[in-house]
Amino acid sequence: MKTYFPNTEKIQFEGESSRNPLAFRYYDENRIVAGKTMKEHLRYAVCYWHTFCGTGADPFGPGPQQLPWLNASNPMEQAHQKMDAAFEFFTKLGVPFYCFHDRDMAPEGNSVEESEANLWELVKRAKDKQAESGVKLLWGTANLFSHPRYMNGGATNSNFDVVCQGAAQVKAAIDATKFLGGENYVFWGGREGYDSLLNTNMKREKAHFAEFLRQCVNYAEETGFTGQFLIEPKPMEPTKHQYDVDSATVIGFLRENGLEKHFKINHEPNHGTLAGHDPAHDIQVAADAGMLGSIDANRGDAQNGWDTDQFPTNLNSAVDIMRIVLQQGGLAPGGLNFDAKTRRNSTDLEDIFYGHIGAMDNFARALVIADDVNNNSEIPKMLKQRYSSFDAGQGSAFEAGKLSLSDLRDLAATKGEPTQISGQQELYENIYNIHIG
């Protein structure tokens, strides 16, 4: 069979001292950390869209990246070539999972039926390729944002006919995900949001969104799709006000509509940054609600206010994330999906490998450090001590709901001015840095 990456062999773990740019220095998939292998903890996935569909196009010009699998003139032939390249890449990189949108895998047809048939042809082939390679599907999703019909949104479109088109796509994408044994299904808001209140009935659009999701839950129950449904927050881009702003907004929306038992959050760090948060904040919000489902591992750019989808190479940020993941006992059935793309001027095919290898090594290293911080540093003890006034006596009675406002007032009067206790952020940061090394 034709190879698309003839210059690259299977990427091997060579250890920290290796200087081979096409080898892992930290990601040793069989290494045990905190009772599980790295492979089991990290559950890495490659995304189909950036890696095999994007050529670096931007508003100023077409993409300069020449991807050999996109050279076929017939869109279905191109889709087949793309799939060959994708599975060759997954296998050579050694990732256990991948993720896709319906339209990444198969082109849109001229009717609902033709689009379904196109997708089905490729999905059947993907099933065989999964069986041959052992690579599994972390999640599937539907693209309700690229086609011009979705210019006013998919589920929240002001035109009911467009909502129906969106439903047809999501139904087919859930079927495809189920057929491929996908462990999750993602809803990213796409163009679900608005630019001006003058032409928008926000309350009605959000009610439509909830109803759409409710019908997806019903459909999963009817058809026996048992994968986890995930919602991916993002505050802006493409619309000015996206409805799924951040974790807290999504959790509130789900609870308001009685949907919280059926969904978790797929958090993308770059989207957290765009919402004005440290990604770890948004991830912690989701984890605290018992709703951290999966992570689209990437990073933004501190100076840019848009979604740069860069490979996550920042160690501190990865440690922040992995500490939370370890504290909640892992991400499964979710994982770490690299929703990241090489820069526009990274035009060698090896660049795709470099991006993923660096990110996989970064999170593997972060996993080890996070486990060390959680178990061997002073930080957990210091944190426990910081809240110890609630562990016994009146503090614990307050937590248990046994003290009224008047009781609290009387305690204030008896106890007098509290002793000042330092928050010691600098000390925490210094200890953290000792473990990061």
Active-site positions read 101, 104
For residues 305 and 237, the answer to whether their CB atoms sit within 8 Å is: no
In the bound state with ligand XLS, the residue whose beta carbon lies nearer, of 141 and 165, is 141
When asked if residue 234 is in the footprint of ligand XLS (CB under 6 A), the reply is yes
What value does the CA radius of gyration of the chain take, rounded to a whole number of Å? 24
The residues near 147 (Cβ < 8 Å, ≥ 6 apart) are: 103, 108
In the bound state with ligand XLS, the residue whose beta carbon lies nearer, of 116 and 309, is 309
Peptide bond preceding 107: is omega within 30 degrees of 0, i.e. cis? no
Binding partner of residue 186 among ligand XLS, Ca ion, none, CB cut-off 5 to 8 Å per kind: ligand XLS
Residue 184 backbone dihedrals phi, psi, to 5 degrees: -150, 165
In the bound state with Ca ion, the residue whose beta carbon lies nearer, of 101 and 323, is 101
In the bound state with Ca ion, the residue whose beta carbon lies nearer, of 307 and 371, is 307
Count Cα atoms within 13 angstroms, Cβ side, for 132: 11
- The Cα 339–Cα 270 span in angstroms is 10
Binding partner of residue 192 among Ca ion, ligand XLS, none, CB cut-off 5 to 8 Å per kind: none
In the bound state with Ca ion, the residue whose beta carbon lies nearer, of 118 and 242, is 242
Read off the DSSP letter of residue 226. -
Crossing angle of the two packed helices 279-288 and 315-327, in degrees rounded to 10 = 0
Choose which of 104, 232, 246, 320 interacts with ligand XLS (CB under 6 A). Answer: 232
Binding partner of residue 321 among Ca ion, ligand XLS, none, CB cut-off 5 to 8 Å per kind: none
When asked if residue 268 is in the footprint of ligand XLS (CB under 6 A), the reply is yes
SS3 at position 434: helix
In the bound state with Ca ion, the residue whose beta carbon lies nearer, of 81 and 310, is 310
Would the annotation count 88 as a binding residue? no
Binding partner of residue 141 among Ca ion, ligand XLS, none, CB cut-off 5 to 8 Å per kind: ligand XLS
When asked if residue 116 is in the footprint of ligand XLS (CB under 6 A), the reply is no
When asked if residue 244 is in the footprint of Ca ion (CB under 5 A), the reply is no
In the bound state with ligand XLS, the residue whose beta carbon lies nearer, of 54 and 96, is 54
Residues in the chain: 437
Would the annotation count 102 as a binding residue? no
Would the annotation count 192 as a binding residue? no
Binding segment for Ca ion among 30-38, 65-73, 217-225, 334-342 (CB under 5 A)?
334-342
Torsion of CA 212, 217, 222, 227, to 10 degrees: 130
Rounded to a whole number of angstroms, the minimum distance from the CB of residue 185 to ligand XLS is 11
Say which amino acid occupies 299: R
For residues 170 and 215, the answer to whether their CB atoms sit within 8 Å is: no
Q: Closest residue (Cβ) to ligand XLS?
A: 188
Would the annotation count 246 as a binding residue? no
DSSP states of 259-324 as a string?
-TTTEEEEE-HHHHHHTTS-HHHHHHHHHHTT-EEEEE--B--TT--S---B----HHHHHHHHHH
Rounded to a whole number of angstroms, the minimum distance from the CB of residue 246 to Ca ion is 14
Binding segment for Ca ion among 7-15, 53-61, 260-268, 313-321 (CB under 5 A)?
260-268
When asked if residue 246 is in the footprint of ligand XLS (CB under 6 A), the reply is no
- The Cα 382–Cα 392 span in angstroms is 17
When asked if residue 268 is in the footprint of Ca ion (CB under 5 A), the reply is yes
Rounded to a whole number of angstroms, the minimum distance from the CB of residue 169 to ligand XLS is 12
**Quick one: which H or E segment has residue 186?**
strand 184-188
When asked if residue 244 is in the footprint of ligand XLS (CB under 6 A), the reply is no
Task: Tell me how many degrees the CA angle 157-158-161 measures, rounded to the nearest 5.
Answer: 75
x/- letters, 164..183, toward ligand XLS (CB under 6 A) = --------------------
- The Cα 95–Cα 99 span in angstroms is 11
* Interaction residues for ligand XLS, span 290-349 (CB under 6 A): 296, 307, 339
DSSP states of 21-54 as a string?
TTEESS--TT-EETTEEHHHHH-EEEEHIIIII-
Site residues, Ca ion (CB under 5 A): 268, 270, 296, 307, 309, 339
Site residues, ligand XLS (CB under 6 A): 101, 141, 186, 188, 232, 234, 268, 296, 307, 339
What are the binding residues for Mg(2+)? 232, 268, 271, 296, 307, 309, 339
